[in-house]
Amino acid sequence: MLSVHVDLQERSYDILIEAGMLPRLAEILKRRGLPERLLLVSNPRVFELYGSIVMEGLSDGFSVEEILIADGEQHKNLDTASTIYTALIERQADRSCGLIALGGGVTGDIAGFAAATFLRGIPYIQIPTTLLAQVDSSVGGKTGVNHPLGKNLIGAFHQPHLVCIDPQTLSSLPEREYRSGLYEVIKYGLIRDRRFFEFLESSLDALLKRDPKVLQTVIRRCCEIKAEITSQDEREGGLRRILNLGHTFGHALEAATGYKHLTHGEAVGYGMKAAAALSARLGRLSQEHCHRAALLIDGLGERPSAPVPFADLYQSMQQDKKRSRGALRFVILEAIGEAAVVEAPALEDVEKAWVEAVSGD
Amino acid sequence: MLSVHVDLQERSYDILIEAGMLPRLAEILKRRGLPERLLLVSNPRVFELYGSIVMEGLSDGFSVEEILIADGEQHKNLDTASTIYTALIERQADRSCGLIALGGGVTGDIAGFAAATFLRGIPYIQIPTTLLAQVDSSVGGKTGVNHPLGKNLIGAFHQPHLVCIDPQTLSSLPEREYRSGLYEVIKYGLIRDRRFFEFLESSLDALLKRDPKVLQTVIRRCCEIKAEITSQDEREGGLRRILNLGHTFGHALEAATGYKHLTHGEAVGYGMKAAAALSARLGRLSQEHCHRAALLIDGLGERPSAPVPFADLYQSMQQDKKRSRGALRFVILEAIGEAAVVEAPALEDVEKAWVEAVSGD
């Protein structure tokens, strides 16, 4: 079994990666002294697919009860968190219990937030079942819900006690959702690891076909990079910001299109192209590297078009919570594998980079 | 100015105590590098009394906007937290802002929870204006709200950046609320400091008359004890539990009387008498010390009667979140100034201790 360690002193934990691990969960959790009473939070769709495997996989030594919540970003709110609290209280859960988050990013974020805030914090385990959750949201301890006025505005840092990734769960993932996760995979190469980027360039076909071996390598490397970055900067005071490559553009694009038109990954795909274009425009990235970045991003296939006027995009950026003291912040590239952060670049450059990224489509 | 340091590595902070400090807040906060943009959370009653002093006291160098929330335990819930989130978002607050909690325990707990969970955590300052908040709830980083099914079930540990205690604010406190805070003051002597307990015995009259000098000494010593205990056990894994002396009985009594009949302090008053009686019954505390404890507690004056049958009380205890794996836990005394924790004592002893504590009234 592959294991990636996230080093955060007393909040350290492991990410375990192995195809077909779910039936062996009891053995794995026992060895790590996890609570014997577990409440499993999932949504009906994922629970139907993997609920019984997980419950049976834990039956030897653990008591597990399920708490099902509605699926979808529109349900990622305090009301859904409240239904989890209510279920926990009704079942007399106490501080000696643990939560399991079984599902994609939405389930992981809400269940993590419930774990962070129920009785001021109980342990939780992430079992991510989407590519996006496996390479990104399940690692790093960011939990939270949306507010009617904006995404992810309410939340807490609460590190999981363990992350169990079974790449076999990706076989049931719809094609568009799978590809959406691949944008974040490319992101790790762009910000931190040129060799990994080159591996992705050369393995793109196998990756798109969900080749198990390539997938395992890819998930592990993404988790290693995220673990390394979040270990150095748990609460996003500095380095961790580079994980937001493409996200200033991407979040604004999602907001400007009402979160309906594009998946998060697709929006980040556009955003990373724009960030690369901005980097080149600012003289920080060579045209060659900018081109290679765009080529791999576009290699994931066609995205829905994003005909958003820059003025609309800019308005959304202004509302982005990641602005600091009013200055817009962008992650840029200095080479493939090397990222930096710039504050308040000239608006003209931002606009031209955006137009360039979209017109290439 | 008196200063008590709470040592929690990178989450360390100071508690400042001085009568008449509110008009000088700007100077105090500046020296500590606190955010220049502050959102002040308070309730209309407290804001009318102290809002303008605080706002003017900060006018030199800080921008402060108020967010008023409804007062009272019944409003300590996620809905009120949500109104704070909404106000923060509407005013475009970001991670560079700080919150001020100006008021009693309810305001401090909700504002602290909002600070813990807005944008995954922003700094906050406690300015407690009740005795209970000054000696207890403003120190230690426990934040939270109630759930319809139970008190304080939703929350987070989030340490303040500073606690500013101006004992002059106690002059406006209604008599019953003031005395309710004194029960928690006695608690500190009972659990940790026999000399402080003796000081309280000898200064009771002055304390009841709110003598400024005695009050300052008392607040400081309570904060020192709470700081010492929470520094050693931030997340209530062990030692911190002794702060719950009288609270297993007290919480159950509050719940069994619908949170209407008694203040929290009064319920804890009954609870501490019962805990002392239980300690004596278990052979852990001498009759003499038990008697002295009861005498000082009763010295605070008459409490509303608490004619709750033990069966009702016991049912409420069962639901108390502080039980661990089903076992009821009580803080007991081994002497005045020395506490310990016992799990699942014989029910008969618990019942007899309760009857003894109440019948003495």
pLDDT tens digits for B251-301?
Answer: 999 999 988 899 999 999 999 999 999 999 999 999 999 999 999 999 999
ipTM of predicted complex: 0.93
Which of B120, B151, B244 is the mutation pick for testing A, counting most A CBs within 10 A? B120
Q: Can B321 be counted among the known catalytic residues?
A: no
Distance between A137 CA and the closest CA of chain B, angstroms = 15
Residues of A in contact with B148 (CB under 8 A): 86
Cβ of B90 within 8 Å of Cβ of A149? The answer is yes
Please give the interface size between A and B, counted as residue pairs whose CB atoms are below 8 Å apart.
87
Cβ of B120 within 8 Å of Cβ of A149? The answer is no
Question: What is the spatial distance between Cα A58 and Cα A63, in angstroms, rounded to a whole number?
Answer: 8
pLDDT along chain A (361 residues), means of 10: 94 96 96 94 98 97 97 95 97 94 98 98 98 96 94 95 97 96 98 98 98 97 97 90 96 91 95 98 98 97 92 87 67 98 94 89 48
Q: Can A213 be counted among the known catalytic residues?
A: no
A2-172 CATH? 3.40.50.1970
CATH 3.40.50.1970 residue spans of chain A: 2-172
Q: Can A251 be counted among the known catalytic residues?
A: yes
Question: What is the spatial distance between Cα B75 and Cα B81, in angstroms, rounded to a whole number?
Answer: 9
CATH 1.20.1090.10 residue spans of chain B: 175-359
Q: What is the mean pLDDT of residues B152-177?
A: 96
Cβ of A150 within 8 Å of Cβ of B85? The answer is no
What is residue A319's predicted lDDT score, i.e. its pLDDT?
A: 74
CATH 3.40.50.1970 residue spans of chain B: 2-171
> Token digits for A19?
């195809």
Residues of A in contact with B157 (CB under 8 A): 120-121
CA atoms within a 13 Å half-sphere pointing along the CA-CB vector of B330: 32
Catalytic pick from B251, B281, B289, B303? B251
Coil, helix or strand for B168? helix
Question: Could you say which of B78, B117, B147 has the minimum Cβ distance to residue A156?
Answer: B117
- Whether the CB of B343 is below 8 Å from some CB of chain A: the reply is no
List, in order, residues 6 or more apart from A310 with CB less than 8 Å away: A351, A354, A355
Cβ of A157 within 8 Å of Cβ of B121? The answer is yes
Chain B nearest-CA residue for A326: B94
Question: Could you say which of B82, B148, B156 has the minimum Cβ distance to residue A116?
Answer: B156
Q: What is the mean pLDDT of residues B148-165?
A: 95
Which of A96, A118, A120 is the mutation pick for testing B, counting most B CBs within 10 A? A120
Cβ of A89 within 8 Å of Cβ of B325? The answer is no
Classify domain A175-359 by CATH architecture.
Up-down Bundle (1.20)
Cβ of A94 within 8 Å of Cβ of B155? The answer is no
What is residue B74's predicted lDDT score, i.e. its pLDDT?
A: 93
List, in order, residues 6 or more apart from B16 with CB less than 8 Å away: B1, B2, B3, B28, B162, B163, B164, B165
Residues 116-155 of A with CB under 8 A from B: 116-121, 142-144, 147-150, 153-155
| pLDDT band at residue B324 using 50, 70 and 90 as cut-offs | low
Q: What single DSSP character describes residue B324? A: B
Cβ of B96 within 8 Å of Cβ of A325? The answer is yes
Q: Does domain B2-171 bear CATH number 1.10.260.40?
A: no
